[in-house]
C-alpha cells in the first residue's frame, strides 16, 4: 500500500504555552466554501479541506503549524477539536474516519508534534483507515540543518502512509492537500500526510484549490474480470461446504448490504474477521461471528472444514489464519480485494477477483444465478453443511462460569451492556483482553459500530477513538471498553471529552495487570509474570471525577445493570471502574501459528496443544 516519494526532512516549533482549548471556527460544511479567494498558502490549505468536505479537525497547536491554525480562525466550514496529545489526535481522526466513512483530519506541529502522530498513522495504515495528517515544518531553507524541532517527517512517515507529501510551493500546496484527501479515501483507504514548511504556509498566493482529485496515475479497479467472476461463481455453486469470510474491506466499500443480500439469497454461512465485525448481523442464524486466535470455536471449525471460501476484503493476517499451511486446508479460495498486492500474499487464491467489494459482490450475484441454473442446483445443496455449522454453534457456545463466590466476570459486564444499549450503539476499545471480551460478548448487527485497533494492536486507542466516534456520530450511543493498562496510556484525552461535553461511557475492565501479556506468560512462559502486573494503580472512578467526568465503581455482579444505567443516563463522559476477576482469561484461544481447528476452551486445554 505504499506510494511514497522520498523527500528531505522538515521542521517547526511547538508553542506549549499556547492555550489548549477548542476553537470552533464554523459549522460542518458541504464541501463548498463561502468565498473563493486565498492570499496565503495556509489559506489555500484550509480552502482545500473545505473543498473536500471536511468538517472536523483534531489537533494540537504549535509554532510551525501556526499559520494554518491562524487561517482556520476565519473558516465558517471547519470545527477544530484541541486534543491533549498528538497521538490522541491521530486516533480520534482514525475513529472519525471509520464511523463516518470519509477521511478524518489531524494536525500537529513539526518535530515532536509530527512524530507523536506516527503511532496513529501506522495504526490507520495497518487497518486501511482513511486519515489525512497535516504537519508543520521548519522553513524550507532550514530543512536539513538540524533546526529547532526539525524532523524528517516525510522520511519517518513514508513506510506507514499511502503517500507523504512535502509541500514546496504556496501556489500548489492547496492542490496537494486536496490530492492527499482524495487519495486517503479512494481505492484501498489509508492515511496520507502533507508536511507544510512555515514559509510555504506563510507565502503569498492567489491559487485557489479545485475539487480534490487523486493523481492521474492512481486508478484502483472497480469491477473484477468477468471471466474470473464466472469461474468463481461456478466454484461456489459446485461446493458442498461453502463459507463467506467478510473482512474490513466490506465495510470500507459500504458493501454490507450487498454481503447480507448475497449470503441470505444463497444461504451461505458467514464468518467475519475482527475488522469485519458488524458487516453481517451476529444475531442472524447464518452468522458464525468472527474467527481467528480468539474467535468463536464454530467459526474456526467452519474455516477448517470448508471446501470453498469466498473471502472479501481481508489480508489474511496471522491472527486470523494461525499457521497458513493449516488454514482452510481443503478450500478452493475466492479472494476479492481492491488491492492486487493482497492477492496470494499470505494465502494462495484459486480465484482472484480484483475490484471494489460492492461491485464485485453484485457481479458474483449475477454470475451465481447463471451457475445455479447451469448446475440445476439451489441453496438446498448446502443444507447439511448449514446444519453442521449449527451443531458447532451449540457445541462450542460462547460461555463463561460465574460462581457466586468469585469476583465480577468481564464477559458478564460486556454482555449486560450489550443488552441494555441502543441497537446501533458504537463500541470502541483499547487493545488487550478487554478488546477480546468486547468483541466476543457484544452482539453487533450494524457496520461502523465496532471501532478498534487490529493490525497494529495499539494500547491507548480506546479513549481518543471514542471521542472521534462520538464527533462523527453525535446522535449515537458510544461506549468504550478499555483495560486498566490501555486506559492509562491515553487517559489525558478524558479532559477533551469533558471539555467538549461528549456523552461517552468508558468501562475500564480493571484486573490490575496488562492482562493479555500475563495470560501469555502463564500459558507459554511457565507463569513468569515479569512486568505484567501493577503493584498499584489509580482508582479510575476517582480519577474521572478529577477530570470533571462522573466516576462509578463496580464490583458486585448484582449491581451491574444499575451502574451501567446510571452511567448511560449521565449526560456527559462517565467512567465505570469495573473491578474484575484478575484470574479470568480469554478463550477460545488458538496458539500463535497453530491450527484454527485445534483451539483451547480453557487453560488446561491450552497446555495440551
| Domain boundaries, position 491 | 410-582
| Count of domains for the chain | 3
- Look at strands 308-312 and 79-82 and give their pairing: unpaired
Do 386 and 414 belong together in one domain?
no
Q: Smallest Cα–Cα separation from 382: which of 368, 363, 397, 367?
A: 368
Side by side, the strands of the sheet bearing 270-272 are 287-290, 270-272, 242-246, 308-312, 332-337, 351-354
What phi and psi values does residue 13 have, to the nearest 5 degrees? -125, 140
235-253 in b/e burial notation, b at 16+ Cβ within 10 A? bbbebebbbbbbbbbbbbb
How sure is the predictor about 21, in pLDDT bands with cuts at 50, 70 and 90?
A: very low
How sure is the predictor about 608, in pLDDT bands with cuts at 50, 70 and 90?
A: confident
Is residue 475 pLDDT above 70, yes or no? yes
Cis peptide bond prior to 588, omega within 30° of 0:
yes
Q: Smallest Cα–Cα separation from 170: which of 148, 143, 201, 145?
A: 201
Last residue of a domain, one of 396, 430, 449: 396
The enclosing domain of 345 has a CATH number of 3.40.50.1220
How sure is the predictor about 148, in pLDDT bands with cuts at 50, 70 and 90?
A: confident
52-87 in b/e burial notation, b at 16+ Cβ within 10 A? bbbbbbbbbbbbbbbbbbbbbeebebbbbbbbbbbb
Let me know: does 513 contact 488? Beta carbons within 8 Å.
no
596 within domain boundaries: no
| Dihedral sign, Cα of residue 442, residue 447, residue 449, residue 450 | positive
Is residue 6 pLDDT above 90, yes or no? no
Res 24: pLDDT? 37
Let me know: does 60 contact 92? Beta carbons within 8 Å.
no
Do 322 and 389 belong together in one domain?
yes
Task: Specify the pTM.
Answer: 0.93
Res 573: pLDDT? 98
Q: Which three cell numbers stand for residue 473?
A: 456520530
Q: Would you name the residues annotated as active-site residues? A: 86, 148-149, 198, 516
Is residue 257 pLDDT above 50, yes or no? yes
Q: Indicate the average pLDDT of the chain.
A: 93
The enclosing domain of 161 has a CATH number of 3.40.50.970
* Residue that has been written with the C-alpha cell 490530492 in this structure: 179
Do 384 and 258 belong together in one domain?
yes
Do 182 and 82 belong together in one domain?
yes
Do 258 and 324 belong together in one domain?
yes
Res 168: pLDDT? 96
Tens of pLDDT, residues 193-226? 999 999 999 999 999 999 999 999 999 999 999 9
5 within domain boundaries: no
Res 55: pLDDT? 97
Specify burial of residue 323 (Cβ count, 10 A radius: 0-12, 13-18, 19+).
Answer: middle
Q: What is the 3-state secondary structure (H, E, C) of 248-306?
A: HHHHHCCCHHHHHHHHHHHCCCEEECCCCCCCCCCCCCCEEEECCCCCCHHHHHHHHHC
Do 557 and 414 belong together in one domain?
yes
What percent of the chain is modeled with pLDDT above 70?
94
Amino acid at each position: 500500500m505504499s506510494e511514497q516519494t522520498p523527500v528531505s526532512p522538515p521542521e517547526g516549533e511547538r508553542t506549549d504555552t499556547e492555550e489548549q482549548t477548542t476553537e470552533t471556527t464554523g459549522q460542518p460544511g458541504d464541501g463548498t466554501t463561502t468565498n473563493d479567494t486565498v492570499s496565503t498558502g495556509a489559506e489555500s490549505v484550509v480552502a482545500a479541506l473545505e473543498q473536500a468536505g471536511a468538517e472536523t479537525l483534531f489537533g494540537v497547536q504549535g509554532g510551525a503549524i501556526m499559520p494554518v491554525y491562524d487561517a482556520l480562525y476565519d473558516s465558517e466550514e471547519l470545527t477544530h477539536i484541541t486534543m491533549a496529545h498528538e497521538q490522541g489526535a491521530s486516533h480520534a481522526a482514525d475513529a472519525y474516519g471509520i464511523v463516518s466513512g470519509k477521511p478524518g483530519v489531524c494536525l500537529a506541529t513539526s518535530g515532536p508534534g509530527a512524530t507523536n502522530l506516527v503511532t496513529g498513522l501506522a495504526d490507520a495504515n495497518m487497518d486501511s483507515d482513511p486519515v489525512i495528517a497535516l504537519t508543520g515544518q521548519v522553513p524550507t531553507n532550514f530543512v536539513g540543518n538540524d533546526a529547532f524541532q526539525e524532523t524528517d517527517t516525510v522520511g519517518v512517515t513514508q513506510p506507514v502512509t499511502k503517500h507523504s507529501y512535502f509541500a514546496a510551493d504556496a501556489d500548489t500546496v492547496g492542490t496537494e492537500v486536496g490530492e492527499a484527501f482524495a487519495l486517503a479515501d479512494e481505492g484501498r483507504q489509508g492515511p496520507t500526510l502533507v508536511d507544510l514548511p512555515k514559509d510555504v504556509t506563510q507565502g503569498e498566493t492567489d491559487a485557489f484549490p479545485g475539487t480534490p482529485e487523486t493523481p492521474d496515475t492512481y486508478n484502483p479497479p472497480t469491477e473484477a474480470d468477468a471471466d474470473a467472476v464466472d469461474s468463481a461463481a461456478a466454484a461456489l455453486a459446485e461446493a458442498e461446504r461453502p463459507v463467506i469470510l467478510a473482512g474490513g474491506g466490506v465495510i470500507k466499500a459500504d458493501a454490507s448490504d450487498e454481503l447480507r443480500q448475497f449470503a441470505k439469497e444463497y444461504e451461505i454461512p458467514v464468518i467475519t474477521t475482527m475488522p469485519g465485525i458488524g458487516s453481517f448481523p451476529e444475531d442472524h442464524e447464518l452468522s458464525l461471528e468472527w474467527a481467528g486466535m480468539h474467535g468463536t470455536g464454530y467459526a474456526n471449525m467452519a474455516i477448517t472444514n470448508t471446501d470453498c471460501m469466498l473471502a472479501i476484503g481481508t489480508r489474511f493476517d496471522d491472527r486470523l489464519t494461525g499457521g497458513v499451511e493449516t488454514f482452510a486446508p481443503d478450500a478452493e479460495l475466492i479472494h476479492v480485494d481492491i488491492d492486487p498486492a493482497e492477492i496470494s500474499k499470505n494465502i494462495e487464491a484459486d480465484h482472484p477477483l480484483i475490484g471494489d467489494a460492492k461491485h464485485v459482490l453484485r457481479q458474483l450475484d449475477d454470475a451465481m444465478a447463471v451457475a445455479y441454473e447451469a448446475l440445476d442446483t439451489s441453496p438446498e445443496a448446502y443444507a447439511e453443511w448449514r446444519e453442521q455449522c449449527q451443531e458447532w454453534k451449540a457445541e462450542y457456545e460462547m460461555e463463561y462460569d460465574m460462581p457466586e463466590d468469585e469476583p465480577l466476570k468481564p464477559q458478564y459486564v460486556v454482555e449486560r451492556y450489550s443488552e441494555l444499549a441502543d441497537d446501533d450503539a458504537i463500541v470502541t476499545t483499547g487493545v488487550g483482553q478487554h478488546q477480546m471480551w468486547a468483541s466476543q460478548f457484544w452482539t453487533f448487527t450494524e457496520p461502523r459500530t465496532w471501532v478498534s485497533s487490529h493490525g497494529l494492536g495499539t494500547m491507548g486507542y480506546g479513549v481518543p477513538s471514542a471521542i472521534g466516534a462520538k464527533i462523527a456520530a453525535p446522535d449515537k450511543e458510544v461506549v468504550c471498553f478499555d483495560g486498566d493498562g490501555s486506559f492509562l496510556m491515553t487517559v489525558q484525552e478524558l479532559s477533551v471529552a469533558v471539555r467538549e461535553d461528549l456523552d461517552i461511557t468508558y468501562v475500564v475492565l480493571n484486573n490490575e495487570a496488562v492482562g493479555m501479556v500475563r495470560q501469555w506468560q502463564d500459558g507459554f512462559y511457565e507463569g513468569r509474570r515479569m512486568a505484567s502486573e501493577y503493584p498499584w494503580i489509580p482508582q479510575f472512578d476517582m480519577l474521572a471525577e478529577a477530570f470533571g467526568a462522573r466516576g462509578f465503581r463496580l464490583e458486585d455482579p448484582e449491581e451491574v445493570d444499575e451502574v451501567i444505567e446510571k452511567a448511560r443516563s449521565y449526560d456527559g463522559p462517565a467512567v465505570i471502574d469495573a473491578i474484575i476477576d484478575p484470574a479470568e482469561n480469554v478463550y477460545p484461544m488458538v496458539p500463535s501459528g497453530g491450527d484454527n481447528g485445534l483451539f483451547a476452551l480453557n487453560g488446561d486445554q491450552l497446555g495440551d496443544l
